[in-house]
A and B are shown apart, each in its own frame.
Chain A
Amino acid sequence: MEKKTNPNVRMWQGNVACAEGAIAAGCRFFAGYPITPSSEIAEVLALRFPVIGGNFIQMEDEIAAMGAIIGGSLGGAKTMTATSGPGFSLKQENIGFAVMAEVPCVIVNVQRGGPSTGLPTHAAQSDVMQARWGTHGDHPIIVLCPSSVRETYDLTIRAFSLAEKYRMPVILLSDEIIGHLTEKIEIPDPSTIEIIDRKKPTDTPENYLPYKMDDSDIPAMANFGEGYRYHVTGLAHDETGFPTNDPKKIRAQMLRLNRKIQRFRDDIVEVETFNTDDMDVLVISFGSTARSAKRAVINAREKDVKAGLLRLKTIWPFPDKEIEALYKPVRKIVVAEMNLGQIAHEIEWATRREKPVVRVNKIDGEPITPNEIFEAIIS
């Protein structure tokens, strides 16, 4: 006999939620090369895309996969690739190309221990700086960090929206714990999901400028094959897309490229606070570790220690304003992350080292436990 259950409730892994979130966002092209702990994303899309009219390609390596999603996006598709540390290293050159050529796409990095092949099956959060500066040159980047299966679904959709809105690659920085964690998720009604698509040109093909300087700072993007012909290059280019050595034009385009994110950072940066109103210890964390941090804050409160949590959902652009608004009244700041202090360093900078920053770090593949953070709060 069938048992009555809510049809929208599923037990999904973070990686499954990522794949399903991509589908919900309208992604119909995935190119990748399997790597633990991200492979389930490719597995799900390889099964789902043929049924819903999408395309899945397993490329010869991660470099080619990154190239393929750039091409797919120029052709008008919402595109994604998924990988982990070693593959993320390989993708960096083409991520830079996507930034420079302003090609929307989503790169998922389910973090594992590094450097090199490191710990394939164990979690880390040590690609924070690589996500920011892995590719060379002054460039903007958006990096989102989910802390749950549901949030993986939501932030994958948001990654596509931000990529399309700001014409740039967006990185979803998950980790092995969240990627492989199975938990309950109630799938939202599609009508409640906000989907944003890239701005299309209103100019005729003859008058179209793919990198037009105007008040919006975000040029309209024509899809290849729709009659608009333009040049795409990683070289510094002018409004037409052709390479230029004119310092004035280079400066104008480079400043616009970076201004896109500076100008709209309030639309991009998202954080969540918990018990921060009367706190005197501020705990800051992100991704899977933020769950341990929340438990530590609850346990501290039970011992009458006024701890509060700031959870970073966006890590780049860095939530400096949000930290600024919280840290003044506190006695100290505890930063928990599965690396040797990549975010802690940014926090020290954002708070001008006015408060002691206690670091809770772990790099052995094991999660940071609530108790380890609790000890740092009460010490």
Chain B
Amino acid sequence: MAFRYEVRLSGSGGQGLILVGKVLAEAAAIYDGLNATQSQSYGPEARGGASRSEVIISDGDIDYPKAENIDIMLALTQEACDKYVVDLKEDGILLIDSQMVTNIPKGNYKVVALPIIQSAVERLGKFLVSNIIALGIITKLSGVVSEDSVKHAIRARVPKGTEEINIKAFYTGIELAGNWLEKHGSL
């Protein structure tokens, strides 16, 4: 049977989660030769409000394109975490920003809490690249797409002139996830 891997990226409108979804889907579908869909759900506001972006990756057909049995979920705000964690599957990975999400919802999943936004500000001087740091962490933790493909997809998708800082952000994420795995053993 075909595998189906579900990713939900949640936070607040304007955090760039739709972009991260698109990059991840393109890495899988264009560079890794898999099938992928990306969809989103957000309110009418341009910024703010709980927002989510979902990526389904499979080696077969993807009929239902929305997540309902999530393998890995990112939450960059408490509101999004509370609202969207419900579809995370048993033993799924809940990746949270350790400063933004302090009230960790109870459930049977693996929680990975990392200073995503803080790393963007302190290590790269740009709050804006938090999303790409998260993408790096997800790439490392999920193993569903290759690092190389994600790197190509980032270069193809981010605004011209921002490629280098985004690639740096991506590797910052890979490193954060790597350190976490070293400290906690495997997932």
Please report A residues at the B interface, Cβ cutoff 8 Å: 3, 5, 9-11, 36, 120-122, 177, 180-184, 288, 291-292, 294-295, 298, 367, 369-371
Contact = CB atoms under 8 A, between A and B. Distances in A.
A370 to B, nearest CB: 5
A298 B21 CA distance: 27
B65 A121 contact: no
Contact of B68 (A3, A180, A369): A369
Contact of A295 (B39, B40, B41, B64): B64
Contacts of B168: none
B25 A291 contact: no
Contact of A292 (B30, B38, B41, B64): B64
B149 interface: yes
A122 B43 CA distance: 8
B89 interface: no
A340 B39 CA distance: 24
A167 B99 CA distance: 61
B148 interface: yes
A5 B39 CA distance: 23
Size bin of chain B's contact surface: 20 to 34
Nearest to A182: B38
Interface in B77-133: none
Contacts of B37: 181-184
B66 interface: yes
- 9 nearest A-B residue pairs (beta carbon): A182-B38, A183-B37, A184-B29, A295-B63, A294-B63, A295-B64, A291-B63, A11-B26, A3-B152
B36 interface: yes
7 contacts: A9-B30, A180-B40, A181-B65, A182-B21, A183-B36, A184-B36, A369-B68
Nearest to A367: B66
Interface string B32-57: 00011111111110000000000000
Given A121-B44, A122-B41, A11 B36 contact: yes
Contacts of A180: 39-40
Contacts of B29: 9, 11, 183-184
A10 B36 CA distance: 11
B144 interface: no
Interface of B: 21-22, 25-26, 29-31, 35-44, 62-66, 68, 148-149, 152
Given A11-B30, A121-B44, A177-B39, A182 B63 contact: no
A9 B35 CA distance: 11
B17 to A, nearest CB: 13
A5 B148 CA distance: 13
A3 B31 contact: yes
Contacts of B44: 36, 120-121
Contacts of A369: 64, 66, 68
A9 B26 CA distance: 10
Contacts of A182: 21-22, 25, 37-39
A5 B63 CA distance: 24
A143 B61 CA distance: 26
- In this complex, which of A11, A292, A295 has the most chain B Cβ atoms within 10 angstroms of its Cβ? A11
A74 B142 CA distance: 55
B75 to A, nearest CB: 19
A220 B25 CA distance: 47
A334 to B, nearest CB: 16
A182 B36 CA distance: 8
Nearest to A2: B152
Contacts of A10: 30
Contacts of B41: 121-122
A370 B64 contact: yes
Contact of B25 (A9, A11, A294, A370): A11
B35 A121 contact: no
B26 A292 contact: no
B64 A291 contact: yes
Given A5-B30, A121-B43, A183-B37, A292 B62 contact: no
A182 B68 CA distance: 18
A338 B31 CA distance: 35
Contacts of A370: 63-64, 68
Given A181-B38, A367-B66, A369-B66, 7 more contacts: A3-B149, A10-B30, A181-B39, A183-B37, A183-B62, A184-B36, A294-B64
